[in-house]
């Protein structure tokens, strides 16, 4: 199944992508993770995008599209995938439909107020990517991942300034994709303001007919 997870930062795309990816046996492809990994390893790509990602602005379309195009040629993506955080602009979506046929676009919705609350306390495991929240969903031992024992940290772009900018960028540049995919009859609307379990339930129902 070829899926896109669309929605503002903090909507729960990453958390649910991990769950749904296991359930369907398809990889989660997160452009944000690819960029963060490149930044950490200080590759050429990492050096190019470090400041852009830190500010919460978008990496140029051409660069992002060529990266995803390349990733989708790999063996594990032939059966299906979840694109988490891509496309984020109309030109990216237009480029994608030239080389891929999608099954559905899951549209996560949540208020700006909740986004700020969720992201300003978010913590992530450096080793396995598990996501925590300082007050809503803390790890059992502070700074240590419950699942793998790895170090848990705060993403540098989860500062209030960058969160506000990412939301602004989402509303201006990414939200128009809702109309784009609704027009192609691919959109599945999900309310992601409640628990991950509740959101998972809604996704299951929405995708059930596609399985």
According to CB under 6 A, which one of 59, 105, 106, 115 is a site residue for ligand ADP? Answer: 59
Q: CB of 109: closest distance to ligand ADP in angstroms?
A: 14
Q: In this chain, which stretch among 81-89, 100-108, 133-141, 200-208 interacts with ligand ADP, using CB under 6 A?
A: 81-89
Window 133-172: contact mask with ligand ADP (x via CB under 6 A) = ------------------------x--------x------
Q: CB of 21: closest distance to ligand ADP in angstroms?
A: 15
Could you give the dihedral angle defined by the CA atoms of residues 36, 39, 43 and 48, in that order, rounded to the nearest 10 degrees?
100
CB neighbours of 197 closer than 8 A, spacing ≥ 6?
none
91-125: burial string, b at 16+ Cβ within 10 Å, e else:
ebbebbeeeeebebbbbbebeeeebbbbbebbbbb
32 binds ligand ADP (CB under 6 A): yes
CA dist 111 to 9, 27, 116, 166, 172, Å?
Answer: 11, 28, 9, 14, 15
Q: Contacts with ligand ADP: how many residues (CB under 6 A)?
A: 19
> Which DSSP string corresponds to 1-23?
-EEEEE--TTSSHHHHHHHHHHH
Catalytic-residue membership of 182: no
CB neighbours of 55 closer than 8 A, spacing ≥ 6?
157, 162, 165
Residue pair 147/169 in contact (Cβ under 8 Å)? The answer is no
According to CB under 6 A, which one of 9, 12, 27, 129 is a site residue for ligand ADP? Answer: 9
Catalytic-residue membership of 155: yes
Window 165-194: contact mask with ligand ADP (x via CB under 6 A) = -x----------------------------
Catalytic-residue membership of 79: no
2 binds ligand ADP (CB under 6 A): no
Q: CB of 208: closest distance to ligand ADP in angstroms?
A: 26
Q: State the residues that interact with ligand ADP by CB under 6 A.
A: 9, 30-32, 35, 52-53, 56-59, 64, 85-88, 92, 157, 166
Active site residues: 13, 88, 122, 155, 166
């Amino acid at each position: 199944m070829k899926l896109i997870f669309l929605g503002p930062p903090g909507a729960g795309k990453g958390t649910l992508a991990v769950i749904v990816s296991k359930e369907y046996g398809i990889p989660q492809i997160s452009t944000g993770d690819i960029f963060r990994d490149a930044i950490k390893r200080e590759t050429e790509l990492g050096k190019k995008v470090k400041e852009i990602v830190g500010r919460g602005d978008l990496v140029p379309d051409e660069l992002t599209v060529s990266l995803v195009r390349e990733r989708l040629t790999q063996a594990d993506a032939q059966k299906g995938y979840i694109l988490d955080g891509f496309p984020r602009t109309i030109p990216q979506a237009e480029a994608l439909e030239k080389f891929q046929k999608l099954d559905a676009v899951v549209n996560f919705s949540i208020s700006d107020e909740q986004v700020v609350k969720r992201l300003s306390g978010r913590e992530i495991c450096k080793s396995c990517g598990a996501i925590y929240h300082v007050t809503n969903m803390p790890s059992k031992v502070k700074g240590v991942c419950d699942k793998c024992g790895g170090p848990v940290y705060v993403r540098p772009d989860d500062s209030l300034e960058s969160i506000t900018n990412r939301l602004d960028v989402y509303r201006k540049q990414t939200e128009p994709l809702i109309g784009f995919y609704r027009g192609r009859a691919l959109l599945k609307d999900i309310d992601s303001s409640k628990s991950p379990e509740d959101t998972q339930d809604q996704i299951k129902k929405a995708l059930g007919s596609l399985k």
